[in-house]
Structures are given as structure tokens and as C-alpha cells.
Amino acid sequence: MNQPKKIIIGTRGSQLALWQAHFTQKNLQDLGFEVELKIIKTKGDIVTLSFDKIEGKGFFTKEIEEALLANEIDLAVHSYKDLPTESPEGLLLAANSYREDPADWLLINPNAVDKTKELSLKLGARVGTSSPRRKAQLLALRPDLQLVDIRGNVATRLAKAQTELDAVVLAAAGLRRLNLPLDQYYLEKLSPQYSIPAPAQGVLAYQIRSNDTYMQQVAAQLHHQTVADCLWIERTILQQLGGGCQQPIGVYCEQDAQQNYHVWASRSTAWNEFPNRIYIKGTDKVELANQATELLLNPERKTVFISRKLNPDSYLYKALVAKRHIFASGSLVEFSPVPFNNLPATDWVFFSSRNAAHYFFSQNPTLPPHTKIAALGGGTAQTIREMGYAVDFIGHHTDTEAVAQQFLAAANNNNTTTLSVLFPQAAQSLQNVQKSLENKIIAHNVVVYDNKITGNFILPACEIVIFTSPLNVQAYCQKYPLLRTQKLVAIGKTTGKALEKFGYNWYIMPHSTDELGLADVCY
């Protein structure tokens, strides 16, 4: 490398942009470089204009890029998600930072919290966001919400949840980096699989002149390649969809220990249109990007069967309609309530299925005020909320054993006493959670419903078959064969094992056990 020279970083003047610039400045100073900052005002800083009144892409970056081309600065630091997918002639995205939490967070005024509702928001809540992507995904989950455009820096938007709004949606990355006090809000953390973020959300982009070989060497010392591999997929999908940062498009990619890329993507043509969402995984970046683009742009109409009755108001029902699928739904199992009484007083009540929650609460049990409620997954949590109860723990895994360990870690909270847990269940329950936590909790099992296979059903041949329980697998497979040409979906690991017993090992599992996870694999 040539003799170190003073590096001038160009940045916007907002609090978050300055944090990003100072972070980069310190990293470079630690490497031995002399660095100064130059603040540049952009169109995006004119808070009196709404996004739809600012023409063209890159309204957070254009003036900074012009300063870079004019040799007024040497390095531009951007929020990667704000950048158009094509760099201006003469400029180069030379490196990217680590990735901060990529999630969206919902900051709720305590007066607007309703834990019996999805997103913990009261009916008809006013939610602030100017992002078409967030609007489309929020309305798909909660069509009753009133969405309000907001502008300004992070602190200004955050304050609106204390004054004129019930809640605001902000990127977790900005809130974490600024370390703003959030104690006065109820925080609902939306995972990036649940609310799919903007491509490259949480990452900083380092832009230089394409002919500046010195700065290429400097930027290389800031680069995080593992993050770049995932960003390549996210940004390629965005580019192929023809989207910018203000399009209703979300893409998120992460890589697991086995080098598989997991990709979640969402696309709407308008902010008030139900999004087409997908989840795919694989090892080939180019193939994944192309597959995701094709599935989002040209979805194929499929025939689908799901072994559970769908409510027309449910997310999965609406998603299947939006995808134009022809579908049938209904359980192949008959259920009947089992009366119970004299429930023990326990610390927790843990529900492993929707039916357990339904048949337990339908009998109007009396629970001590301190009792907390746990759900195996999002689908079970939804049923609990529909019955009018708040959920204190929701599992986030398709493997029951993994959820059991998540629950133990969350419920213990450094408590030295052994937890007592009530498990409402079916008469023939496999008791997988209890077995996973044997000798770690005091388990009280109570049978609240019985289930048995019904032999009286006729099903159409479908391209996609979704199984929601091991018993439904047994019922289906005893009557109908499954073909290699059919896409088999098992809601979780236990259901998947039931398919394997019948020799059907080509099934896939969704990323989550709720309806959103099931909808994401229906393509």
C-alpha cells in the first residue's frame, strides 16, 4: 500500500448516519489511518417531502455520490438498504460491514398493547411507517390496522408513538446502534422471517471511486465476506425484480453451519396488496436468486390440500387465495372433548397444539393469576389469543426438542426452584416436550381431548399436501399413496418422522409451524 493519506468520509447529518460514519472512522483510525468527516445534505433529509414526492432512486445518497465523483470525499458510508442496485458510472461498492440485527421492531405505546391480538396491538391501532414493504406485510397480518406515513430521524419517529400514534415500526439496527432508551414502550421484536426486511437491512456499504486503487485496498480491510455472500443473493433478487428501496419488496438471507443459504422473500405490486411470500434454501447462490425471482414474478397456480380446517379470515387461507391456488382443507381426525377438573396450581401451562388450547379453554378453567402460558409455536399461540389469553412464551423451531430447551431457558430466568408445568394434551399424546425436559421440570399432564382417525373422507389428488400432525399422516397414508411428483410439507419434525415411517422421505418442513411458515412453502 502507498503512504497513508488523510481519508475524508462523506455522510448525511442525521444521528444514525453520523453514528455509521464515526463507527467507520474509528475502525480506520484503529488501522492507522487519519480520517475526517464531511457532512452532506441529501434530498432524503428534506422531511417536509413524502417519499412519493421525491423523484428517482437514491434520494438518500445522490448528493454524497456526486461529492465522491467530484473528489470532495474519498469514502461514502451508506445504509446499504438505501442504495439502488446499480452504482453510478465511476463509483464502486468496495466493501460492506458486519450485519447488525436485520429485524423490524414494533414500538408500542403501553396504552395500545393487547397481548391477545397478533403483534400485541389493540384493534384498529394507528401504526407509523412510510415503508410500502412494511405496510404490505403488516396489513396481511392485521388488516384492521391504520397505517400512517411518518418522516424524520429515528428519535423523531420514535417519539410519535408517545404522542399521535399507537406504535411505530423501525429497524432494529438503528435502535441498537443509537442505544436509545426504549423503557417507555412495549417492544415487539419481529423476526426477519416473520417481517421480511429490506435487502441488506442492518449493513453498512462503503462506496469509493472505481479508479481509486488506494481506497480499494483501504476498504478491503473493512470488508465482511460472509455477510457479502448473503447480500449478493438479496440484492440480486431485488435487482431482478426491478425494485428500489421504496418498493414493497423484502428479501432476507442467512447461511447455516452446513453452508446452506436460507432465503425469505416477499413481493407486492402495491403497499395495500397481499404479499406473495416464499421460503427456499440451497447452496447455489445464482440458482437461489433466479428461483426466488421466478417464484415471485411468475407464481404457478397449484392444487393444495392441508389436513386442518382453514378459517376464511386466517392468514393461510388468504395467502392461498392470493397465490390463486385451488385448495381443500380439513382434518382427517375426529376430535372430542374430555372433561377435567381439580387442576393443580402450576407456574406454567404449556400447549403443544391448537387443539389442546381449544379444548382446554373451551371448558373455562380457572387459572391462578400468576400462571404463565406457553405455546409450542406460532399457530398454537394464535389459537390461545383467539380464546382471549395472552401468550408469555412462543417456540421458534420446527423441532419439539429444540422448543423445549428454548422454553426452559426462557422460563427459568435464573430461578433456582424447579418449574411446575401443566400440559393439556390429547389422550394419545406423544409427550415430546415432557420427555425432553424430564428431571428438569415437574410435569402435570391432563387429558383435555381425544382424537381418532376418521375413515369417511374422499380427497382430491393435489400437487401440494400439507400435513399438520402425525395422526393426519397416518390417516392419509393408510388410504392414499403419495407420489414423488407431489410436494409434501410436514409442519414439524414429529410429523416428518411419521411420513418417513410410510417411506415418504422427500418432504420439506416450513421455517416455522405457524400459518405464515406454511404459506411461505406453498409454491
Catalytic residue among 82, 101, 104, 166: 82
Nearest to 302 by CA among 463, 459, 461: 463
| Alpha helices by DSSP H, 166-284 | 172-178, 213-220, 225-241
Residue type, 149: D
Which of the 8 DSSP states describes residue 353? S
> H or E element: which one contains 284?
none
Pairing of strands 326-329, 303-306: parallel
> Is 300 buried (19+), middle (13-18) or exposed (0-12) by CB count in 10 A?
exposed
CA distances from 518 to 165, 398, 422, 465, 500 (A): 32, 11, 28, 11, 20
> H or E element: which one contains 403?
helix 400-412
Residue type, 10: G
Whole-angstrom Cα distance, residue 426 to residue 432? 12
DSSP string, 445-482: EEEEEEEEE---------SEEEE-SHHHHHHHHHH---
Cell of 254: 442467512
Dihedral, CA of residue 41, residue 43, residue 46 and residue 51, to nearest 10: -150
Q: Is 82 one of the catalytic residues?
A: yes
Cell of 255: 447461511
Burial pattern 446-478, b for ≥16 Cβ within 10 A else e, equals: bbbbebeeeeeeeeeebbbbbbbbbbbbbbbbe
Which strands make up the sheet holding 35-39, listed edge to edge? 35-39, 7-11, 75-79, 203-209, 91-99
Catalytic residue set: 82
